[in-house]
Amino acid sequence: MPDLDTYRGFDMSAFRPATTAALRETVARPVTAEDLVDAQGRCAGTALDPGDPAAQAVPMVPSGIALEMTECDVVKRAGAPEKIDIGANERADRTAVLTYIRGGRPGIYHFTAGRLTLMERAPEPPPAPRPVRQAPRPKRTSS
């Protein structure tokens, strides 16, 4: 029988999620004009033209996309969007929707006040039509 007076349980303090608590307390910096895209999908300080195939093919920052990122953070990671819709919501906050059909991160990214609030899957292109196979012709036999 174990001696319960001297028994010590496991020290669970090593498993405490201290790092996630620090993330919750992190305050995002304010969104500035340099963090917003224009109607052509360009960010301030971006030298590449979004119509340039090189700008669409190669993202400037090869990393993931997460909620609360700014519009330009997403553009720097996903490249120039195929479609851009900029407007305002009922509270007069700026809204933007960036749509990517092709590329490494296809999707529809919704922003409110310059921050990413919703990510949706991009509509998949219709499947390519299947080629019609013709039945093989019967071989002629010579008699």
Task: List the pLDDT tens digit at each of the 143 positions of the chain.
Answer: 666 677 666 666 666 655 555 555 667 789 999 999 999 888 876 655 545 554 444 456 678 899 999 999 999 988 889 999 999 999 999 999 999 988 888 899 999 999 999 999 887 766 778 888 877 777 777 65
Q: Rounded to whole angstroms, how far apart are CA atoms 118 and 63?
A: 18
- pLDDT the model gives residue 91: 94
Identify whether 21 is part of a domain. Answer: no
Q: Rounded to whole angstroms, how far apart are CA atoms 78 and 43?
A: 13
- pLDDT the model gives residue 21: 55
Identify whether 34 is part of a domain. Answer: yes
Identify whether 45 is part of a domain. Answer: yes
Identify whether 143 is part of a domain. Answer: no
Identify whether 139 is part of a domain. Answer: no
Identify whether 126 is part of a domain. Answer: no
The range of the structural domain enclosing residue 90 comes to 29-120
Identify whether 94 is part of a domain. Answer: yes
- pLDDT the model gives residue 102: 81
Structural domains in the chain (count): 1
Identify whether 129 is part of a domain. Answer: no
Q: Rounded to whole angstroms, how far apart are CA atoms 112 and 26?
A: 19
Backbone angles phi, psi at 54, to 5 degrees: -65, -35
- pLDDT the model gives residue 64: 86
- pLDDT the model gives residue 57: 47
